[in-house]
Structure 1
Amino acid sequence: MKRYLFLAACLLNFQYPAVFSQNLPPVFSADTLAEKDQRVRQYLSPVRIVWQSDRSGKGIIDAENLLRPGTGQADLVHKNFCTLKSTDDQYPGLVLDFGKEIQGGIQLVTDQPADHRPIKIRLRFGESVSEAMSEIDTVSGATNDHAMRDIITEVPWLGVAQIGNTGFRFVRIDLVDSGRELQLKEARAIFEYRDIAYLGSFKSSDNRLNQIFNTGAYTVHLNMQQFLWDGIKRDRLVWVGDMHPEIMTINSVFGKNEVVNKSLDQARDITPLPGWMNGISAYSMWWVLIHRDLYKYQGDLPYLRKQQKYLVELLDLLMSKTKDNKEALDGTRFLDWPSSENPKAIHAGLHAMMIMTLDAGAELCTILDEPAQAKKCRDASTNLKLYVPDANGSKQAAALLALSGIVAAQKANSEVLAVDGCARMSTFYGYYMLQARAKAGDYQGAMDCIRNYWGGMLDMGATTFWEDFDLDWTKNAAPITEIVPDGKDDIHGDFGAYCYKNLRHSLCHGWASGPTSWLSEHVLGVSVLEPGCKSIRVQPHLGDLTWVEGTFPTPFGVVKIRHEKTADGSIKSQIDAPKGVKVVR
């Protein structure tokens, strides 16, 4: 099967590891180990040296040797290594670039200086160069929250050390003790990921859109660790709301994957009712919406039945949180961070979400042979639709109002969503803004927004999409790949708000992957009509593109599609679907 880890393979030129044996060594019994890790490791050599403290040839010698392909094995040859020498007042350091954001740590292979004692070093991992160069202080916002990224440790004489577990692209290595010599043979990144096929793909006449699709897919792939995380640097948690765009990307690119069910079940199991998942009422609603969409794409009825008792009770809880045909949800009232200071927008968004959730609940209860509960959900939704709250200028709220059907999508688009281009967008709710614009028929406007907003991160050196972003940040900013020169803004260290101020800002956040599934659904044109993809509609919207081609994963196999715009503007399509998938055009 053709596999391509997109830019990771191209830029870093790594090979896939061999499949490991499923058998335990004979000294273990089957119940000895609690869990088998589904991830693999790949070791990556750096692609460049960004910075070094000394270029005189005294403190740092032959640094370029670190760019050689490594083996991870110390040896007695005593050549092709980098030497770092400290004095009483000089402590050499350098910054390595591994070419692309990854999740994992670093492997250091040492040689054999005369002094056999372990050598103390400082490691700083960074999603940007500025983060790798930073101090943990109250100025830049750099932290060791959630994952250790600033570490003082020791490495052995003539040996190997593997250190770190975080999200990064850059690593700074410094000697800590004076009068020491570090002979560093190798410094390789340890890339931890799930070795899964990219079944869904997108390629068009616009390479910028192609790169955005691939970057969104890769962003989510990195977050498919033991559980489905929101970010690989922070918060490394199962945030249920954040998971919805991620799972839509997984459905569109990877197909069925055990990390999804595992994470959804973990959120359910640690949240006994009447508690809200993650303490946020909207996140319990997202759990319902995720199950509706997951069943639509995967058609796994036995798994859905495992949710039945909790689902029915959760829907009862939600219906109890209404008053006078309005949502009256308690718990943390939250859509996303940029809308968090607009209580009218939060109310409008939660009201719309309540309608969307009850509609989804009615669908699921019908499938699960719960006709009475399905009727209760439909009746409650009908009553809530009698009231239409004001979005109060919020694109987040306007998008949800349009998607819930209580505000015409064309009205929401012309009055709020399309106003001022990409201003007042967010990487999380940007997905729902794109969905609402598609519902309004504004496919070209949505595509332009994808190019400008998500493409703006690429212009700043991103290889994964960020927790939040504002195009205004880029006006005088240096990219994340370089030391920030005087007179320029630090795109990572100078911006951000709420929980993502300055360098604490996550530059790999799965909730930002919305364009990937959006392009698959609306430009390649694939939407699911029957659960498990037994029936799909292929209805492309090419906008200003001349052609688009790609693949879409289903439980029956991969659908292959190509659309070309003819001279008269009509679309010529070629569709190859596996047996079991009915295609409606």
Structure 2
Amino acid sequence: IELSTSNDGGGDGGGDSKDAEEEGPLFRLDDVRVISRVRPANYTGLYSTSDPLLDSTWYAGAYAARLNMHSSNFGSVLVERGDRVAIQGDGHPTMAAALSAFGPESYDLVRMALEKTDSGCPHCRVVDDTIMAYPLYWTMSVENYYWESGDEIAFQKFVPDIASILDNASIKFWPDRPNIVWMGWDDRLDDGWCDPCFDEAHLTFAALLVRAHLDFARALRGSARADEYEDLARKHATKADELGHRLKGDNSTWLEGYGLHSSANVINAALPSPVETSILFDREMNDVVKLCSFSSFNQYWILQGLGNALKMDHALSSVKLCWGGMIRLGGGCFWETYEPGWEEFVPRGPGRMPGLPSLCHPWSSGVTRWLTQNHVGLRPLRPGYDYVLAAPYVSRRYPQIK
């Protein structure tokens, strides 16, 4: 609600002047109008399963993205906290959720948000682009948009900027592993801003760099440039392997130094063999005590890792563990940070969380995208859904999905 007022000045010497001065200045309400700060968009996605908590999770993720749709970008936090702007990396899960939940209704907004957060063009700078992972997430957002919309013109416009971002990240990261600035709020990733960063953060970034090259090559689809970036991905994979050995000693296997976050990301980059993937899953991703990252932004990559490890029942159960508690405690949007143990002592109801997490943080919405692509099983095989893979996942535990 926006109010337009005029000041009556507390009286002009009449009989009520003294009372008015004691109570403060008087205002006359001249006009009232309602301003919508949320961009109109209809739900075009649908998610319904045999598990009500999974259903609620999909819609809560979509709702957070919906509430943060501005006229020309996506906000990164619902409250006015100084960062209610489009942020490059934060926006990756947000835009991914919007594409799955709102489809064509979101295309124009996603494209505008990508333009506003492009740091790959000459002399372009955007919020938080010094976080080395964030421009990489932006490249993956462009590719998500391209596969969903089929917008060849926009994609080709962004191709030089994607290439610039990947090339610059590669030059900067190898061989010296500089300060990557931030990889996540979880204490296993240095609990936010880091200088220098833990080995776990560097291993996670190295895997992300490989994946970003592979995703770009896939979007380029068979062109000479696709071959170039596939070759670069292989070279980065070799360096990531060498990094794993170097961190743990020459006599170790390359994956001994990998923790939860780096294991998920290296699986997402398709680097481990099936046997190695099984080792990483058993050691790092099959323990409910340590499975949930402190930030659902980071949990999005862990969820992908579980799916890519072909542990779908575990992945769906992790959704209920790592996102479901926010629904039970808050009943609204997903939060900036969350720990399942909070359910043991936090009263139910909004605004009662430890610390000061944002209670409507759309970077936690990646789960909506993942459920659409992996549980419903809908993926475009060509940009714009000219050809579609429909492979819904059902099991004894999760027997129904639509």
Q: TM-score, normalised by structure 1?
A: 0.56
Aligned to 1:401: 266
Contact 1:213 1:516 in 2 (8 A): yes
State whether residues 362 and 377 of structure 1, in contact with CA within 8 Å, keep that contact through their aligned partners in structure 2.
Answer: no
Task: Give the direction of change, closer, same or farther, for the CA distance of 1:156–1:537 in structure 2 (3 Å limit).
Answer: same
More helix, by proportion: 2
1:262 counterpart residue number: 112
> Is the CA contact 1:229–1:238 (under 8 Å) kept in the aligned structure 2?
yes
Q: Which residue of 2 aligns with 1:210?
A: 55
Distance 2:184 2:334 in 1: 16
Offset at residue 304 of structure 1 (A): 0.9
1:431 aligned partner: 300
* 2:310 corresponding residue in structure 1: 441
Which residue does the alignment assign to 1:229?
75
Equivalent residue for 1:466? 335
Report the alpha carbon displacement of residue 254 of structure 1 after superposing the two structures with TM.
1.1
Asked if structure 1 preserves the Cα contact closer than 8 Å seen for 2:375 and 2:393, the reply is: yes
The code of the aligned residue for 1:292 comes to E
Contact 1:155 1:161 (8 Å CA) reproduced = no
Q: Distance in 1 between matches of 2:309 and 2:120?
A: 39
Cα shift at 1:293:
2.2
Out of 334, 346, 359, the position equivalent to 1:507 is 359
Per the alignment, in what secondary structure is the counterpart of residue 333 of structure 2?
A: coil
Cα deviation for residue 395 of structure 1 reads: 2.2
Match of 1:352 in 2: 207
Q: Aligned equivalents of 2:342 and 2:263: distance in 1? A: 24
The superposition leaves residues 380-403 of structure 1 with CA deviations (integer Å, 9 ceiling, x where unpaired) of: 335335436358564222210111
Q: Which moved more, 1:200-209 or 1:333-342?
A: 333-342
Residue 214 of structure 1 and its aligned partner are, at CA, apart by: 0.7
Tell whether the 8 Å contact from 2:97 to 2:368 is kept in structure 1 after alignment. yes
**What aligned pairs does 1:164-563 form with structure 2 within 5 A after superposition?**
191-226=36-71, 227-233=73-79, 234=81, 235-256=83-104, 257-268=107-118, 272=122, 278-323=129-174, 328-330=176-178, 332-338=180-186, 339-341=189-191, 343-365=198-220, 370=225, 373-374=228-229, 377-384=232-239, 386-387=241-242, 389=244, 392=257, 394-407=259-272, 408-421=276-289, 423-425=291-293, 426-481=295-350, 491-492=352-353, 495=354, 502-503=355-356, 505-543=357-395, 544-549=397-402
What is the distance in 1 between the residues matched to 2:367 and 2:345? 26
Deviation at 1:364, TM superposition (A): 4.2
Letter in 1 for 2:152: L
With 454-463 and 313-322 compared, the bigger mean Cα shift is at 313-322
User: What are the residue-to-residue correspondences of 1:568-583 with 2, within 5 Å?
Assistant: none
**Matched residues in 2 for 1:466 and 1:391: separation?**
32
Superposition deviation, residue 420 in structure 1: 2.5
Q: 1:205, 1:548 within 8 Å by CA — same for their partners in 2?
A: yes
Contact 2:121 2:161 in 1 (8 A): no
Partner Cα distance (2:227, 2:398) in 1 = 48
**SS state at 1:479 partner:** coil
- Is the 2:381–2:388 contact (alpha carbons within 8 Å) kept by the matching residues of 1? yes
Give 1:216 deviation, angstroms. 0.6
2:68–2:74: 8 Å Cα contact kept in structure 1?
Answer: yes
CA contact (8 A) 1:333 1:346 kept: no
Q: Which one-letter code corresponds to 1:354 in the other structure?
A: L
1:416 Cα offset (Å): 0.7
Contact 2:285–2:291, Cα closer than 8 Å, also in 1? no
Deviation string, structure 1 residues 32-89 (Cα, Å, up to 9, x no partner): xxxxxxxxxxxxxxxxxxxxxxxxxxxxxxxxxxxxxxxxxxxxxxxxxxxxxxxxxx
Deviation per CA, 1:233-257, whole angstroms, max 9, x where unpaired? Answer: 1421222211221122112111142
Structure whose residues are more often strand by fraction: 1
Deviations 1:413-467 (A, max 9, x none): 2211221356542311111111111112221122222123211111112310000
Q: Secondary structure, in 3 states, of the residue corresponding to 2:28?
A: coil
Identical positions, percent: 21
Alpha-carbon RMSD across the aligned residues, in angstroms, is 3.4
Larger CA Rg, structure 1 vs 2 = 1
Paired with 1:287 and 1:337, the residues of 2 have a C-alpha distance of 19
For 2:332, give the aligned amino acid.
Answer: T
CA distance in 1, matches of 2:16, 2:31: 17
Q: 1:25 is matched with which residue? A: none
Alignment gaps of 5+ in structure 1: 1-104, 121-152, 163-188, 482-489, 496-501, 550-585
The equivalent of 1:98 in structure 2 is none
Alpha-carbon contact 2:190-2:198 (below 8 Å) kept: yes
